[in-house]
A and B are shown apart, each in its own frame.
Chain A
Amino acid sequence: MLYLQMAITGISMGMLYALMAMGLTLIVKAVGVLNFAHGQLFMLGAYLTWMLTYSLNLPLWGVIVCGIIVFAICGAAYMFSVYWPLRNSSWKVTVTISTLGASIALKEFVQIVWGTIPLTMKPIVNGVFHFGTVYLNYQYIFIILIGGGLMALVYILFEKTFLGKVMQATAQDRYCAELIGIPTIVSIMATYMISMVLSGTGGWLAGPLFLVSSSLGSLAQKAFAGMVLGGFGDVKGAIVGCLLIGMIESFGLIITDAYKDAIVFAVLIIVLVVRPTGIFGEKISEKA
């Protein structure tokens, strides 16, 4: 029974990580750098939805509609302040540094605006779902459903639509994409917007479970790990990687509790050393 409970918790946490990791992966694909402020964007999502729900008193559908709009604006603003001015820099680390700066600034920003005390948010449906001795908060069911839905949407968007092809072309070779007349600024902006919507939604779903506080951002480390485990720049890999990380984290508890995080990272390093491109990453031969 304990194992079943652990598996369920692992999957639901994995889904949450996957929501974050998907956004991360899209950014990595589009601009080739890790976004270190992703956890803070997730946290910002939770705070913004809190504001929409409790300060503006919007109904659920209003929160969803306004939320998506607000997230998209935030994503665009984030992209223009952190990535765009540095797009032509020969050192990719510069973008990394500005995302690190953004993560510090965002963490302080929410504390100044909404105070330092964690905020409480009501879940979509209150209560706990029991089957036998195993139980699951309804909110996790929403996470799995909404998360799964968003994943499908992203897949359709990227693989089946014209906009997706435009974004993929930009991700593969920005210079070439510009040559054939793709406005890369729009497509990169769209990537950042989608990424922010994904992680913001994650924040909205996680808020009722873990309280809305600046420590929500710390979940991102696991999402990073999941993404790397699955192979950089592969959305499918990121999802599988995150579910795996969720499981490892859950079942790691059987062996040790104090060193639980150490196990996650040790597994990650070992997997990477054995398979340097992650589980799903393909080995692409480099060009000189």
Chain B
Amino acid sequence: MKKAISIILVCFMIFGLAACGNGGNEPAEQGTIKIAVIDAFTGDKAVNGQYSKEGIELALAEINEKGVLGRQVELIYEDGQGKETETTNAYQKVISEHELDAVILDKYSSDVLAVEQFVKENGLPTFCQGSSIKIEASDTSNLYSTRRSDAGAGGSVVAFIKEQGLKKVAILHSPDALGQSMGQVVVDGLTKAGIEVVSDQQFANEDQNFTNYIAKVLASGCDCFVAIAQTTHSAQIMIAAQEAGLSQGENAITCIGNSAFVQQSSIQNALEASNNWYACTAFSPTISMEPTASWIKKYNDTYGRLPDMTSACMYDSLKMLANAMETAGTTDPAKVNEALHAMTDYRGVVASYGYQGTPMLSKAEYVCHIEDQKSIVLQIVYAE
């Protein structure tokens, strides 16, 4: 009897699930162009989702003023928590329940790689901000990233070190995909250029205290310190480096970071500790070049704070999609993909974009120097 009841209950559960699924199904509206946005809106990485939502809403308002092909764009937000299982679930949800015209994914490479199989299957134009080398190597032709790959970004770090004539380099990188692959690229590049790598360290995700890593960097006798991390850790690294007199003071050496180091939230958290850092980045909230500068001003006016790279990338993604749909004259995925493939020089707020056979669309990067808590562009590095 006990068994019977438990089995019946199970069945109720399953039917309950089924019923819910059907309830969520909406008929496809002819009128609007539906684009799904999957990002981390809750959980540890929710800061990213907040910025991306702000960026994409800004683009949405601009686009819907005129409309695309005479139609309005509708965004469907779904939370992936920055975790791959949740992202795949969210992706399946939006795909099953809506007639989508395109998808925009978050910046975490493993999330993008997890849904790549479905992206390939359904052929929808899909934007992401993943920068992993595995994404660059992907043969999914309808996947696009608004970033340069970690290999490209690592290459510009190496080029900058060479140019500065530095001899001994110490590296500290994060344990995630970004840190591991970009760290490897930098180490390989430096070794090839005959520059000595005196210390190569990886910190752990739970780390809050960077004193020991910095102490090891100091002890290694290097003249250049390269740090690769995500935003929260980047602020902590800059603070630890300042405490040790690594980035500022009489014994300061050249400190180079990745894009996270010049983002608004890290500068805001590190305050004066951020001064004197260099960074190779695709975007910085204090860039004075057009059209980026006026966009940043607009963003600041709308939300009362400066944008993050994620906001800018999300803004560009939606704008590019709308642009491609206009060019193609239809929202048919195959045609839109063709239009995107034919795109050679689209000037977005982050960079110029163009399709070069890989998902990586971004064509340029800046080397910035942080002075007085503002990043100043020193040079522009173009992709080969």
Chain A directly contacts chain B within the complex, with at least one CB pair under 8 Å: yes
Q: In this complex, which of B47, B208, B216, B245 has the most chain A Cβ atoms within 10 angstroms of its Cβ?
A: B208
Chain A residues touching B, range:
35 or more
Contact A213–B219 (Cβ < 8 Å): no
Quick one: given A137-B243, A215-B232, are A117 and B206 in contact (CB under 8 Å)?
Answer: no
- Residue of chain A at shortest CB distance from B202: A258
Main DSSP-derived SS at the A contact region: helix
Contact A209–B46 (Cβ < 8 Å): no
Our pick among B205, B209, B216, B245 for the contact of A209 (Cβ within 8 Å) is: B209
Q: In this complex, which of B43, B202, B204 has the most chain A Cβ atoms within 10 angstroms of its Cβ?
A: B204
Contact B235–A9 (Cβ < 8 Å): no
Our pick among A2, A6, A210 for the contact of B208 (Cβ within 8 Å) is: A210
- Residue of chain B at shortest CB distance from A210: B208
The answer, yes or no, to whether B175 is at the interface (CB within 8 Å) is yes
The answer, yes or no, to whether B65 is at the interface (CB within 8 Å) is no
Contact B202–A116 (Cβ < 8 Å): no
Contact A116–B216 (Cβ < 8 Å): no
Interface of chain B residues 342 through 363 with chain A (CB within 8 A): none
Q: Determine how close the nearest CB of chain B comes to the CB of A65; give it in whole angstroms.
A: 27
Contact B271–A120 (Cβ < 8 Å): yes
Interface of chain B residues 35 through 77 with chain A (CB within 8 A): 42-44, 46-47, 49-50
Q: CB-CB < 8 A to B209: which residues of A?
A: 9, 13, 209-210
Q: Determine how close the nearest CB of chain B comes to the CB of A286; give it in whole angstroms.
A: 33
Interface of chain A residues 177 through 210 with chain B (CB within 8 A): 206, 209-210
Our pick among B46, B204, B236 for the contact of A111 (Cβ within 8 Å) is: B46
Chain A 102-125 interface mask (CB, 8 Å, partner B; 1/0): 000001100100011110100000
Q: CB-CB < 8 A to A213: which residues of B?
A: 232
- Residue of chain A at shortest CB distance from B199: A257
Contact A258–B175 (Cβ < 8 Å): yes
A258 to B213, CA, bound (A): 12
Interface of chain A residues 224 through 254 with chain B (CB within 8 A): 250, 253
The answer, yes or no, to whether B201 is at the interface (CB within 8 Å) is yes
Contact B265–A117 (Cβ < 8 Å): yes
Apart from A5-B212, A116-B46, A211-B269, 19 more pairs, CB < 8 Å: A2-B216, A9-B212, A9-B215, A13-B209, A108-B43, A111-B42, A115-B50, A206-B208, A210-B208, A210-B209, A211-B232, A213-B232, A215-B44, A218-B208, A219-B208, A222-B206, A253-B212, A258-B202, A258-B204
Q: List 15 A-B contacts (CB under 8 A).
A: A2-B216, A9-B215, A13-B209, A107-B43, A107-B44, A116-B47, A116-B49, A118-B232, A120-B269, A206-B208, A211-B269, A215-B208, A216-B208, A253-B212, A257-B202
Minimum-distance CB pairs A-B, first 6: A116-B47, A210-B208, A218-B206, A116-B46, A5-B215, A257-B201
Q: Taking beta carbons and an 8 Å cutoff, which residues of A are in contact with B?
A: 1-2, 5-6, 9, 13, 107-108, 111, 115-118, 120, 128, 133, 135, 137, 206, 209-211, 213-216, 218-219, 221-222, 250, 253, 257-258, 260-261
Q: Taking beta carbons and an 8 Å cutoff, which residues of B are in contact with A?
A: 42-44, 46-47, 49-50, 175, 201-206, 208-209, 211-213, 215-216, 218-219, 232, 235-236, 243-245, 265, 268-269, 271
